[in-house]
């Protein structure tokens, strides 16, 4: 069996899913515009949605763990679910207090997103010209996340504005990458 190189696999993935990059980019842009236009409302709404997500995810984790009688590791899932429920309830009861927790979640998500996008660029670099967009996306995202970790008390409005600006930049870069991959696909079929 002929095994493809990681570069070809990454390229095939990008070609098959270019529309996901485009859709994600458009969603990032929409959130960015909304967060920049109405920062206070955006941050509070996101904190409440985040709290609800934690609560629902916790409930599902507890239910899955209890249903998986005898499965290895189910108690870790159970206790993780209980922790999510407690944090979700705390956050829903005090959404203003949740903003700081939400800031840290945004920070760590931005860092993880940045690292994964940068590494995807490394995997695809020999097959696609313009992978620099992925490198820039990754670096901007990591720097944003590190800034939030370093100075979480910069204020809710500034966090919302920074998240909006970050989202807008990331969205534009993702849209650019999607069109580059699509153009690569079209040139390969001609």
Q: Looking at the predicted structure, is the pLDDT value of residue 36 above 70?
A: yes
Q: Looking at the predicted structure, is the pLDDT value of residue 115 above 80?
A: yes
What's the mean pLDDT when you consider all of the chain?
Answer: 81
Q: Looking at the predicted structure, is the pLDDT value of residue 80 above 80?
A: yes
Q: Could you tell me the sign of the dihedral formed by the alpha carbons of 39, 45, 48, 50, in that order?
A: negative
Q: Looking at the predicted structure, is the pLDDT value of residue 173 above 50?
A: yes
Nearest to 139 by CA among 126, 122, 164, 155: 122
Q: What is the pLDDT of residue 39?
A: 84
Q: Mean per-residue pLDDT for 156-166?
A: 78
- Tell me the longest C-alpha to C-alpha distance in the chain: 58
Model-level pTM? 0.53
């Amino acid at each position: 069996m002929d095994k493809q190189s990681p570069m070809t696999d990454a390229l095939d993935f990008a070609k098959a899913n270019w529309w996901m990059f485009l859709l994600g980019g458009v969603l990032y842009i929409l959130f960015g515009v909304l967060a920049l236009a109405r920062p206070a409302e955006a941050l509070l709404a996101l904190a409440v949605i985040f709290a609800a997500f934690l609560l629902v995810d916790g409930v599902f984790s507890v239910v899955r763990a209890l249903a998986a009688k005898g499965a290895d590791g189910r108690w870790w899932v159970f206790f993780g679910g209980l922790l999510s429920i407690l944090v979700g309830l705390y956050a829903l009861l005090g959404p203003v207090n949740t903003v700081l927790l939400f800031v840290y979640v945004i920070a760590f998500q931005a860092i993880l997103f940045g690292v994964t996008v940068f590494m995807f660029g490394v995997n695809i670099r020999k097959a696609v010209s313009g992978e620099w967009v992925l490198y820039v996306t990754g670096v901007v995202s990591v720097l944003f996340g590190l800034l939030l970790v370093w100075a979480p008390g910069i204020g809710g409005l500034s966090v919302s504005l920074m998240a909006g600006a970050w989202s807008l930049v990331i969205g534009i870069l993702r849209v650019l990458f999607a069109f580059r991959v699509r153009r690569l696909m079209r040139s390969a079929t001609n």
